[in-house]
Chains A and B, each alone.
Chain A
Amino acid sequence: DAKTTQPTSMDCAEGRAANLPCNHSTISGNEYVYWYRQIHSQGPQYIIHGLKNNETNEMASLIITEDRKSSTLILPHATLRDTAVYYCIVRVSGWFGNEKLTFGTGTRLTIIP
């Protein structure tokens, strides 16, 4: 699976959009970009995933560049409950390969009141 690079930490004001970048320059054509977050010591929570196109769900939006070498997770209106470690993970599409998730160190996002 391709390696990802994320900033160690970020701050965002409550109510503003939080934009979390991720570089995955060695991503291959059949690899998805996943985002998970972990609030304190809770189990990681799935946020969103994408292959090529931008994706949006009730939690966030995922913007993937055209060359797929980087992506940005957007939390449109950050709240204090969004304070967490956010993990960007690149993984070969599930069934035919190893379905494990390889977690890096992630970005510690702190929402400031």
Chain B
Amino acid sequence: DTAVSQTPKYLVTQMGNDKSIKCEQNLGHDTMYWYKQDSKKFLKIMFSYNNKELIINETVPNRFSPKSPDKAHLNLHINSLELGDSAVYFCASSQDSSNYGYTFGSGTRLTVV
């Protein structure tokens, strides 16, 4: 059983389009995250949800909108995609917001052309 699964694994789309990435965890964790990893492998926190409540919203363009229908799911919707949005997006979860042991999904490689 995959602990943190995200779909799709690859996403190629044109500028201006809207796309979504889905994430689900079956670990029973309370906290979920979205990270963006750029071409230089820098991992940057975007959002964090704890029991469906948004607790971290870093400096991210408002074209990015997370949604957590329940504590096992955290989706990411991106409007009006730009070239600079090309990156690998990782979903992760942890037992709670103070835990250090994150479990990451396999990532979604987004390419905007």
Same complex? no
Interfacial residues, chain B to chain A (CB-CB below 8 A): none
Interfacial residues, chain A to chain B (CB-CB below 8 A): none
